Each structure stands twice: as C-alpha cells, then as structure tokens.
C-alpha cells in the first residue's frame, strides 16, 4: 500500500493502537494471545505501533518490550507521557523533570534505547507548552526520542509548540462520528507539516459494528462512562450505525474498513491507529488498506453521521476538562 510519513519516516497509513491489550475495553486477552497479536501485526506489514506509559500502568509498554525486543528495527514506535494516575486520582504533569523521568522509565519497559515519536498525552495547563516542548527537544538532541508529538490539543497550542521545535504528529480522536479535528487542527497540521494521527478511527468499535447492546459491555469497559453510550443517546446512535453498515455492505467492505477508508480520505497527512485485542479484527483492519473510498460514498457518510446527527458528546464534563481540542459552538460540547 502507498506509504505516508511521520517525521519523514515512511509508515503504512494504518498502524496499530496497542492500548486495548492492557486496558480500557473489558476483559484483557491472555498474554500469549497479546504477544501473538503483536508479532502477527508485524508479519502482516504493520510498521507503526502506538502505546503510552499509562496503558495498564506500564503493562502495555512492558508487554511490547518483551514481545518485540528482537524486532525493534521493524517498526516505528510511539509512546506517550503526561497523564499521572495514583489510585483513583488522575492528574497531568508535563514538567521538564517529569518528562525526563518518564522517558527513562518507558525506555526501560520497552527494552530499547529510543522511541521514534514521544507524545505529550495531554496539555499541562500549569506548565507553558513552550517549556514542555523545550524539554522534549533536549531528548531529541540526546537521541532518546526521534520526534515530538502532541495529543488532544488545539491548533493554537500546536502552533505555539511548533514555534519551539517541529511537531511531528498530533494525535486526536477522529472518525465519522467525532469531527472536531475538522474545525482547525487538520488544517493546522497540513500547514505545519505535522502528521495527524487518528485514534479511535472506528469510533471505539461502534463503526466496526462491535457494540450492539451497551448493557452487555463489561463493568470496567470505559465506554460505559461515555455519554454517547447512555440510555438517552445510544438508541439514536445505534440507528446511525445500522445505516452505516448498509453502506459498507453496498461497497463490499466491512464497516471497520469503510470507517478507516473514510478517515484516510480526509488528507494525505493523516494516518490511523485502530486498536483491538482480537487478531481477527487486527487482520481485518489491514486487509483493505489500499481500498480508496469513492467520493459519492464518502458524501453519503458525511450526510449520515456528523456533529449534528450523533447524539451526545464523546466525553463527560470531567474528562472534557482535561483536553485542549476545539469544540463546536452549536450546543455540541464534544471535545
């Protein structure tokens, strides 16, 4: 498939988000299954893997380090820092001291001497973005990180950061049912030469037709805390998904493949990192990566699923306050 690039390095347009191997969506896969999934991904041609220090409180990085330590030169490795979890308490710390401590801890868990991309997972409003980026720039000079990324931040923050050091990537949720990047960030990324990395490009499994009954989700599934899945909003959203699945069937692709193709069609500076704990779903996500969505099909999706038709914001108020992305001004409070 045609490659895209992050920091000038070629990557396949579909990478692998690794979070769900360690946290987030209910029961975790057995360790041997997770290790098999990571290696199968590389065998298929995935060459961009994304993790973070908080996924499973270090479990995800440790898993990847153990599973792939003999294959480090086969993939572009990204991880993140900045979110701090202590028991039930969650905070953000992007101070220079924390950035330096966290990269060393991550490198140890990942069993490598460098990562290709290091993200600030959230904006720390107590530390100027310029100061945090300056600390990360020092890590670039030292060879511990290849490039700098931001996650869930605004176009204005991106521009301020880029004035200090080139920003290789901006990672934010993006799919037909989460459109906020279209307000400003996609254009800012194109302007600055920053790759936009779309997480949850199949809408947290929804546009893969992976959620039929919200009541069946595990108690520890993070989607249970999201307004779009509550009793008021889910029936309307489920109807949108049913119509979306019909479009996918008309195209001869799966719903997940249709959603991924839609995301990638929004610009050649965009890559997607769908996550899964299923080897079958991982293979499915990659199987039609070279399929180009027809313009008329993209238009049907745009008319069906957008910021006016999706019911509810993606985050509740508490989580919304932790992110820095633009919001729509028409009553939608999605971030």
Q: Pick the catalytic residue: 25, 46, 55, 118?
A: 55
Whether 326 is covered by a domain: the verdict is no
Whether 234 is covered by a domain: the verdict is no
Whether 136 is covered by a domain: the verdict is yes
Rounded Cα–Cα distance for residues 277 and 319 (Å): 24
320 pLDDT above the threshold of 90: no
Mean pLDDT of the chain, nearest integer: 95
Residue-range definition of the domain harbouring residue 51: 4-203+267-290
The CATH number that applies at residue 75 is: 3.20.20.100
**55 flagged as catalytic:** yes
Burial of 278 (0-12, 13-18, 19+ CB in 10 A): middle
88 pLDDT above the threshold of 90: no
Phi-psi sector, 59: left (phi>0), alpha (psi -120 to 50), beta: alpha
pLDDT mean over 9-33: 96
Burial of 141 (0-12, 13-18, 19+ CB in 10 A): exposed
| Minimum mean pLDDT range among 104-113, 135-144, 281-290, 313-322 | 313-322
Handedness of CA 281, 225, 238, 181 (dihedral sign): negative
Whether 130 is covered by a domain: the verdict is yes
H helix or E strand, kind and range, residue 286: helix 279-287
31-44 helix and 279-287 helix, angle to the nearest 10 degrees: 20
The string over 67-92, giving b where at least 16 C-beta atoms fall within 10 Å of a residue's C-beta and e elsewhere, is bbeeeeeebbbbbbbbbbeeeeeeeb
329 pLDDT above the threshold of 80: no
In this structure, what token pair is assigned to residue 167? 């920003």
User: What pLDDT was estimated at residue 220?
Assistant: 92
333 pLDDT above the threshold of 70: no
- Tell me how far CA of residue 151 lies from CA of 99, 132, 248, in angstroms: 15, 13, 30
Whether 114 is covered by a domain: the verdict is yes
Rounded Cα–Cα distance for residues 289 and 258 (Å): 10
Whether 109 is covered by a domain: the verdict is yes
4 pLDDT above the threshold of 50: yes
169-173 and 89-92 beta bridge pairing: unpaired
The end-to-end CA distance of the chain, in Å, is: 32
Q: In what order do the strands lie in the sheet with 270-272?
A: 16-17, 48-50, 76-81, 117-120, 148-151, 169-173, 195-199, 270-272
Whether 299 is covered by a domain: the verdict is no
Inter-residue contact 114 to 146 (CB < 8 Å):
yes
- Tell me how far CA of residue 331 lies from CA of 238, 327, 334, in angstroms: 21, 9, 9
The pLDDT confidence band at residue 335, using thresholds 50, 70 and 90, is very low
Inter-residue contact 165 to 137 (CB < 8 Å):
yes
The pLDDT confidence band at residue 318, using thresholds 50, 70 and 90, is confident
334 pLDDT above the threshold of 70: no
User: What pLDDT was estimated at residue 322?
Assistant: 87
The total number of structural domains that make up the chain: 1
Q: List all residues 6 or more positions away from 52 whose beta carbon is below 8 Å from its beta carbon.
A: 19, 60, 61, 79, 80, 81, 83, 119, 121
User: What pLDDT was estimated at residue 331?
Assistant: 40
Rounded Cα–Cα distance for residues 44 and 248 (Å): 23
113 pLDDT above the threshold of 90: yes
The pLDDT confidence band at residue 328, using thresholds 50, 70 and 90, is confident
Whether 211 is covered by a domain: the verdict is no
pLDDT mean over 312-322: 88
- pLDDT tens profile 155-206: 999 999 999 999 999 999 999 999 999 999 999 999 999 999 999 999 999 9
221 pLDDT above the threshold of 80: yes
- pLDDT tens profile 293-308: 999 999 999 999 999 9
The pLDDT confidence band at residue 2, using thresholds 50, 70 and 90, is confident
H helix or E strand, kind and range, residue 110: helix 96-110
Rounded Cα–Cα distance for residues 268 and 277 (Å): 27
């Amino acid at each position: 498939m045609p490659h895209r690039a992050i920091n000038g390095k070629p990557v396949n347009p579909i990478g692998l988000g690794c979070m769900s191997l360690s946290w987030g969506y209910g029961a975790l896969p057995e360790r041997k299954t997770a290790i098999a999934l990571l290696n199968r991904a590389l065998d298929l041609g995935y060459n961009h893997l994304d993790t973070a220090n908080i996924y499973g409180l270090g479990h995800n990085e440790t898993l990847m380090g153990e599973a792939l330590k003999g294959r480090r030169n086969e993939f572009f490795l990204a991880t993140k820092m900045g979110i701090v979890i202590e028991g039930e308490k969650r905070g953000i710390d992007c101070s220079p001291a924390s950035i330096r401590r966290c990269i060393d801890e991550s490198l140890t868990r990942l069993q490598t001497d460098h990562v290709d991309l290091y993200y600030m997972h959230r904006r720390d409003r107590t530390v100027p973005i310029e100061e945090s980026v300056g600390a990360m720039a020092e890590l670039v000079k030292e060879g511990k990180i290849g490039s700098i990324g931001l996650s869930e931040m605004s176009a204005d923050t991106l521009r301020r950061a880029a004035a200090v050091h080139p920003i290789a990537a901006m990672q934010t949720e993006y799919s037909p049912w989460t459109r906020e990047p279209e307000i400003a960030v996609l254009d800012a990324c194109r302007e600055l030469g920053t790759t936009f990395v779309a997480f949850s490009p199949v809408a947290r499994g929804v546009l893969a037709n992976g959620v039929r009954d919200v009541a069946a989700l595990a108690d520890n599934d993070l989607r249970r805390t999201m307004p779009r899945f509550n009793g008021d909003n889910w029936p309307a959203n489920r109807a949108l998904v049913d119509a979306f699945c019909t479009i996918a069937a008309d195209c001869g692709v799966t719903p997940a493949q249709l959603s991924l193709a839609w995301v990638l069609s929004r610009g050649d500076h965009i890559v997607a990192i769908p996550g899964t704990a299923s080897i079958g779903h991982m293979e499915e996500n990659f199987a039609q990566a070279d399929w180009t969505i027809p313009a008329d099909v993209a238009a049907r999706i745009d008319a069906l699923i957008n910021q006016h038709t999706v019911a509810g914001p993606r985050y509740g108020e508490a989580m919304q306050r932790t992110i820095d992305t633009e919001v729509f001004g028409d009553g939608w409070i999605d971030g």
